[in-house]
């Protein structure tokens, strides 16, 4: 079902690209004439994102992991993430690596959940700070907004209530083990700093890539507005689980940048530049590294 949905969304993105080919063509031309210094800075930010992912993943585990191999796995996982929807590719690679390092499947899954949760919390916090600093950029739906918020709160409250009502011993033990791992990570200051600092730096660097590309295109947009547009677009793209956000993130980011004040062709160029640096250039090397890790039984 997920593969069918991804195929439909990809086909839709291709249809939209064909329909708006003149805008895409103009965006490519504008990107080709962009400032090389800013693009190099964006490329540097991209390289650092894998180091930050390494730091965050280590912070989610009590045991020390082999740093060099963990960094290599994060590079390979980023490539795998563009083959499967909803982050399943990166999750599968990291899960397999943690199990190879001696973690039980339940503890490995808990480490991935802790890392994902920290990343989501950091993004929400950054969006909240930027929304206060840049009022008017984000607007909640005027119809049904309070009802939707109340429904979300009720749904969030229902989760722990449902867990408390569960009486199955195995599930209670699994939850207790997961809670113990989370507590142990946060009782170790170095692990907690690695987890939250790495997650914050990862989100900030991806945001920095977009800001640098926008500056390379000489678009007069404040960095705060660009950052908020990217964080909002990437968060919204999660609702459409395509491989690597293909199509969903591109459309959301282009729309968000245009709404923030960028010309349409410049928004398309910014999306193309961001995708080129974070997806297309590292994709083939990442897949080759992934194949090497599989052959060497590191995964």
* Position 59 in a domain: yes
Residue 263: give the domain boundaries. Answer: 26-137+168-295
* CA–CA dist 269, 32 (Å, integer): 9
CA distance 29 to 256: 21
Tell me the average pLDDT of the chain: 80
What pairs with residue 96 in β-bridges? none
Q: Would residue 230 count as lying in a domain?
A: yes
For residues 106-115, give the mean pLDDT: 90
Q: Using DSSP, state whether 243 is helix, strand or coil.
A: strand
14 is a domain residue: no
Residue 64: pLDDT over 70 = yes
Average pLDDT over residues 35-49: 95
In a domain? residue 156: no
DSSP reduced 3-state for 169: helix
- Say if 162 falls within a structural domain: no
Interval 126-185: pLDDT, tens:
999 998 887 766 654 444 444 444 444 444 444 444 444 444 556 666 667 767 777 888
192-196 mean pLDDT: 94
List of residues 6+ apart from 37 with CB closer than 8 A: 216
Q: Is residue 17, in this structure, part of any structural domain at all?
A: no
Count: domains in the chain: 1
Examine residue 155 and state whether it is found in any structural domain, yes or no. Answer: no
Residue 161 lies in a domain: no
């Amino acid at each position: 079902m997920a593969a069918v949905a991804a195929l439909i969304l990809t086909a839709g993105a291709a249809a939209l690209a064909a329909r708006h080919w003149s805008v895409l063509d103009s965006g490519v031309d504008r990107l080709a004439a962009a400032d090389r210094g800013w693009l190099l800075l964006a490329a540097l930010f991209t390289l650092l994102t894998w180091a930050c992912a390494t730091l965050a993943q280590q912070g989610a585990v009590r045991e020390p992991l082999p740093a060099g191999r963990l960094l290599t796995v994060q590079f390979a996982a980023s490539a795998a993430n563009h083959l499967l929807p909803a982050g399943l590719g990166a999750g599968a690679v990291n899960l397999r690596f943690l199990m190879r390092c001696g973690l039980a499947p339940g503890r490995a899954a808990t480490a991935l959940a802790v890392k994902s949760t920290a990343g989501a919390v950091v993004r929400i916090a950054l969006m909240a700070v930027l929304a206060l600093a840049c009022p008017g950029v984000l607007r909640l739906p005027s119809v049904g907004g309070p009802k939707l918020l109340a429904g979300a709160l009720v749904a969030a409250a229902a989760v722990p209530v449902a867990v408390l009502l569960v009486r199955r011993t195995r599930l209670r033990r699994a939850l207790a083990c997961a809670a113990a791992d989370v507590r142990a990570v946060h009782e170790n200051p170095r692990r907690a700093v690695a987890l939250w600092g790495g997650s914050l730096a990862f989100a900030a660097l991806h945001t920095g890539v977009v800001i640098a590309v926008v500056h390379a295109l000489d678009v007069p947009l404040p960095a705060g507005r660009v950052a908020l547009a990217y964080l909002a677009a990437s968060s919204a793209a999660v609702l459409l689980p395509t491989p690597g956000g293909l199509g969903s993130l591109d459309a959301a980011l282009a729309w968000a940048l245009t709404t923030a004040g960028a010309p349409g062709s410049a928004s398309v160029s910014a999306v193309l530049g961001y995708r080129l640096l974070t997806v297309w250039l590292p994709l083939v090397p990442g897949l080759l590294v992934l194949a090497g890790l599989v052959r060497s039984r590191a995964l």
